[in-house]
Amino acid sequence: MNLNIFIITSYSFFDQDLEKLFLCNLKYQDFSKNFKNYENYSKLSSNYKLDKSKHWITNVTHLFKFSREFKNFIKRYTNYYLLNCLIFVSIEFLPEKIASVVLGFISFQTFVDKFGTVFSIILVTILQMSNYHYTVLILTTFYGSWNLSEDLLIPYFNKIHFTMSEQNQWLNTRKGVLFGIGLVYYIMMQKFPLISFIIYSNAFFNMGFLITKITNEIPDNSKSLGTWSITESVWDGHDKFLGESLTS
């Protein structure tokens, strides 16, 4: 169920320690490359402000009311846990052939818009001929990694107010890079659950570096932010990113 990841991400909404790690690396990148991302980011305000003196239920209600990222976070993990429950019920209570069909359908729906119809059919066929354990492992790892990659961007989207369509486009055009980062940290947290908070903190810290590689510099005034967010939602820097990664 990956409750450790859910709990740590939930904590990040109520405390700014993890965001400070993100900002620490962002500030260092500005210093080393003469950017102003940290300075311009700090000028922006988030959609919500919690009062720690109030009861936690009041703060949760406030988040549901004012924080789009919190609502997206809850929605993503609700869908993830429902999917895991469906998989569990299928393999534990349904006949093997029916369970295989259900897992195959979920797998195809998961990968068809990412790999195309032909490759998805080939992948599902291979999984159908294998033990269902591998299908379950691939599905849970895929969705868990993608959720984690979005979790690491919560501080960024809390301040950069994209529209929902712009944010989805922003994520889709960078999905390969983000999924790769999420996959690495997801596997590490699964392998070493006792130090998952340390690993997660390191992921937040490194996102301060990655964000400067996959986005342009944040504008220094709110008037320019609207136009910037429209153009920034589409990313065409894949080749440059890969070139710099291979060089480094």
Neighbours of 228 (CB within 10 A): 17
Tell me how far apart the alpha carbons of residues 127 and 137 are, in angstroms, rounded to a whole number: 11
Whether the predicted pLDDT of 134 surpasses 80: yes
141 touches 186 (CB < 8 A): yes
Backbone φ and ψ for 130, nearest 5 degrees, come out as -105, 175
pLDDT in tens, 2-48: 789 999 999 999 988 999 999 999 999 999 988 999 999 988 888 78
Q: Which one, of 9, 17, 16, lies nearest residue 70 by Cα?
A: 9
Tell me how far apart the alpha carbons of residues 232 and 169 are, in angstroms, rounded to a whole number: 9
Q: Percentage of the chain surpassing pLDDT 90? A: 71
Question: pTM, whole model, 2 decimals?
Answer: 0.91
Q: Which one, of 26, 11, 141, lies nearest residue 70 by Cα?
A: 11
pLDDT in tens, 139-155: 999 999 999 999 999 99
Whether the predicted pLDDT of 56 surpasses 90: no
Structure tokens at 23: 């900002």
pLDDT in tens, 184-207: 999 999 999 999 999 999 999 999
> pLDDT confidence of 241, banded at 50, 70, 90?
confident
Residue partners of 237: CB distance under 8 A and separation at least 6: 214
Q: What are the Cα distances from residue 216, in Å, to 17, 142, 219, 248?
A: 25, 28, 9, 20
DSSP at 222:
H
pLDDT in tens, 106-121: 999 999 988 889 999 9
170 touches 211 (CB < 8 A): no
Side chain identity, residue 199: I
Whether the predicted pLDDT of 246 surpasses 70: no
Q: What are the Cα distances from residue 206, in Å, to 14, 24, 244?
A: 21, 10, 16
Whether the predicted pLDDT of 247 surpasses 70: no
Structure tokens at 47: 């959609």
Tell me how far apart the alpha carbons of residues 30 and 200 are, in angstroms, rounded to a whole number: 23
pLDDT of 16 reads 87
